[in-house]
Amino acid sequence: MFVAAMLAGAINAVAGGGTLVTFPALLWAIGDAKFANATSTLALWPGSLGGVWGYRRELRQCEQWMFLLLIPSVVGGVAGARLLLSTAPETFRAIVPYLILCATILFTLQGQLGRMLRDREAAGPPSRWLIVGVMIYQLLIAVYGGYFGAGIGILMLSALSLLRMRDINQMNGLKTLCAACINGVAAGLFAYWQIVDWPKAAVMITGSILGGYGGASVARRLGQGTVRWTVVVIGLAITTIMLYKQLS
C-alpha cells in the first residue's frame, strides 16, 4: 500500500490518475469496495493540497473563474459522498469495474485532449448562459468525484476549455483546486461516517506525500507516455479481473 501510494503521488504529479493505483491496492487489502474508495480519497487528498500551493501564482490570475467553480465543486462533492453512503456495498462493488473502465478511458484520452486544449484559439468571452452551463457541468463532475473520483481531472479540463481558457497552467491550477475541494469535503464526510481504514490511510498518506515530492522526478525521467500507459494497463487489468470474478 505504501508503494502504491508513492506511485499514485508521482502519477498525480505528472499525469493524474493515481486513484487507479491506490483503489485496487486498498480493495485487495480491505476487501470492502466502499471502505477502499473512501480510504483512497482521504489518502490522496494531502497531495492535492501541495498541488494547489504549487499553482498559487496561476490561481491568482484566474480568480474570476475560481470562485464560480468552487461552489458547485463543494456542493457536488458533498452530494456524491452522501450518494456513496446510501449505496449498498454489493451494488457499489458491482458497478466499480465500470467506473474504473470509464476512468481508464478518460485517462487514455488525456493526452489528446491536452493537445486540443493547448491548440484551441480563443473565440471571444463566454456568454452568461455558457458560464451557467459550465457551473452545472462542474456540479455533475463534483457529484461523480465525491462518489468515486477517478478521471475527474480530464472532465474538469473539458469544462475549463468551454470558458475559453488558453493557459494550460492556469487550467491545471483550477483543476487541482477544484479537485482538492471535491476530495476534501468527501474525505471529511467519509471520516465522519467512519468508513475509513485509518491505519491504512496513514500509511498511504505518508507514501503519497513522499511520492508527490520525490517520486515525481522519477516519473518525469520515465516520461509521461510511459507513466500514462502503465496506468492504462493497470486500469484495464483491474477491470478485466473484477468483471471476470463477477461473471464467473
Nearest to 23 by CA among 188, 149, 183: 149
Are the C-beta atoms of 211 and 219 separated by less than 8 Å? no
CA distances from 115 to 98, 119, 166 (A): 27, 6, 11
Nearest to 56 by CA among 167, 213, 152, 170: 170
Buried b or exposed e, range 207-238, using 16+ CB within 10 angstroms: bbbbbbeebbeebeeeeeeebbebbbebbbeb
pLDDT values of the chain reduced to their tens digit, one per residue, 248 residues: 898 888 887 777 655 677 888 988 998 898 888 899 999 999 988 877 877 887 788 888 887 788 889 999 999 999 999 999 898 878 887 888 888 788 777 667 765 655 555 555 445 567 788 888 889 989 998 999 899 877 787 778 777 877 777 676 777 788 888 988 999 999 999 999 999 999 999 999 988 888 766 654 555 566 656 666 776 777 777 778 777 777 76
Query: What cell numbers appear for 226 in the block?
Result: 510511459
Query: What cell numbers appear for 221 in the block?
Result: 525521467
Q: Which residue has the cell 452522501?
A: 82
Query: What cell numbers appear for 41 in the block?
Result: 480519497
Are the C-beta atoms of 18 and 12 separated by less than 8 Å? yes
Q: Which residues have CB under 8 Å from 137's CB, separation 6+?
A: 159, 162
